[in-house]
Structure 1
Amino acid sequence: MQAGVWTGMLLWAFTAVAPRHDVQAHGPAAPVPSVEQRAEVHREAAESRAALRAAEVERRHKLALGRRMWTARWEERARRERLARLRQQEEARRREAARQREQARRQAVRKAEEAGRAAAPKAEARRASARTASAGRRTAADRVAVRLDELQLLARIVQIEAGGEPYEGKVAVAAVILNRVRSPRFPDSVRAVIYQPGQFPTAAERIPQIRPSSAALRAARDALAGRDPSNGALYFYNPARQRCGEGGGGFLCALEVTARIGNHVFAR
């Protein structure tokens, strides 16, 4: 169809241009296209232009479709790459978190070990202190036991020597015993002073059978607490029973009298 269109157009153009150049046709003249032929030519030309426009539209449509497909593929690839990067970042964060947890655990273990090493001497010191304290408690208990024994001995000697004396006299007798313990001229314990030969022989024999009164016990406690109505005396005697110059010779006369309480004279 297009070949016929072009042939008709060339024929029409030739017939239209030939008269200007005064071309003398040799032979018979070319036939002039009829109105129907011209209409057919125009119709074919219009159809050709419509076909061209349709082809252009189809080309553009295909181009747009290809562009959309390419864009979709590019976006999908970008999305996948973005997801891959996110997964990598998440994995890196998990690895970093695991590394930090492991580092924190190791640091905690190291600190615990260091604290244990640092606390070991302290624990040993505490145990040593506890052992010392326990030993001290046992020693203190022993001292208390000795003190109770001394208290009983003091109370009994007070009951024997000053049972009928006023309370101050009882305390003074107990103080004399303790003053002798502190003096370098006498033994260094209550028991040794009481049982020293020649000092309290009769009283020492009676001590196991004597039960001290509450006043005697209280007087012994006061003397052990530091009370001394005898004013530092080392001796005491009853002038009614033992006069100066009699029995003991001039020994009692040479002593310095420090106090007189009840029936006793206290001296040193």
Structure 2
Amino acid sequence: MAFSDRELLARIIQCEAGGEGENGMKAVATVIMNRVRVPYGEYQRIGQGSIRNVLYQEGQFDCMRTEIRGVPNQQNIWNARPEQIHYDIADWALAGNRLFTIGYSLWYFNPYAPCPSFFPSSGVGRFQVTIPQHCFYNPTELYAQT
């Protein structure tokens, strides 16, 4: 059985940010919905307004992989067990809400070090904010060319 968009979003929120508190989970949900809604660049072409397309884009979310570097990945959406808060945040994001501190960020990651100014290395994202352990990046002008 295929998961609904709401179920997919709740599961990815739980898997990617379940230990990051409410703001961390809302930040991840905001990035995902920013990718769904961005009107230009790579994610506009890939996402085309689809949560499913954004989440299943290869190499974007570790929680969408059953294997990483040849090793089984147990922390994935199929093993996730979302709770009510994850569904509440999914509903919040699907209703068009966004965490304002994230802005229009399209990327996040935990560098386990100070946040670099740009991410990915191609320079298409500029540092916006850290929430709690993750760095978030807004698109630069270069992103529009992707």
What is the 5 A alignment of 1:237-252? 237-240=109-112, 244=116, 250-251=121-122
RMSD: 2.5
For residue 72 of structure 2, what is the aligned residue in structure 1?
A: none
Offset at residue 218 of structure 1 (A):
1.2
1:179 equivalent in alignment to 2:34:
yes
Is 2:71 the partner of 1:211?
no
Query: Relative to 1, partners in 2 of residues 1:208 and 1:249: Cα closer, same or farther, differing over 3 Å?
Result: closer
The amino acid of 1:190's aligned partner reads: I
Select the residue among 103, 124, 128 that pairs with 1:231: 103
Q: Specify the SS of the correspondent of 1:266.
A: strand
The alpha-carbon distance between structure 1 residues 243 and 172, as it changes in their structure 2 partners (threshold 3 A), is closer
For the structure 1 residues 256 and 216, does the alpha-carbon distance in structure 2 shift closer, same or farther, using more than 3 Å as the test?
A: same
Instruction: Provide the C-alpha distance between the structure 2 equivalents of 1:197 and 1:242, rounded to a whole number of angstroms.
Output: 26
Q: Return the letter of the residue paired with 2:135.
A: V
- Higher RCO, Cα 8 Å, sep 6+: 2
What CA distance in whole angstroms lies between the structure 2 residues aligned with 1:242 and 1:192?
31
Superposed CA deviations along residues 220-241 of structure 1, whole A, max 9, x for unmatched, are 1111122211211111111217
CA distance in 2, matches of 1:221, 1:156: 12
Aligned match for 1:159, one of 14, 32, 44: 14
Q: Distance in 1 between matches of 2:85 and 2:113?
A: 24
Q: Does the 8 Å contact 1:176/1:232 carry over to 2?
A: yes
Contact 1:232 1:258 in 2 (8 A): no
8 Å Cα contact 1:244/1:250 also seen in 2: no
Q: How far does residue 249 in structure 1 lie from its aligned partner after superposition?
A: 6.7
Partner amino acid, structure 2, of 1:195: Y
Q: Secondary structure at the match of 1:207?
A: coil
Q: How does 1:194-209 map to 2 (within 5 A)?
A: 194-200=55-61, 202-204=62-64, 205=66, 206-209=76-79
Task: Choose between structure 1 and 2: higher helix proportion.
Answer: 1
Structure showing greater Rg? 1
> How far apart are the structure 2 equivalents of 1:193 and 1:224?
14
Amino acid at match of 2:116: C
SS at match of 1:239: coil
- For the 8 Å contact 1:171–1:227, the answer to whether it is kept is no
1:210 positional shift: 1.2
Q: Secondary structure at the match of 1:208?
A: coil
Distance 1:176 1:166, change over 3 A: same
Compute the displacement of 1:199 (Å).
Answer: 0.8
Give yes or no for contact 1:152–1:217 (8 Å, CA) kept in 2. yes
- Superposition deviation, residue 152 in structure 1: 0.7
User: How many Å separate the matches in 1 of 2:111 and 2:28?
Assistant: 15
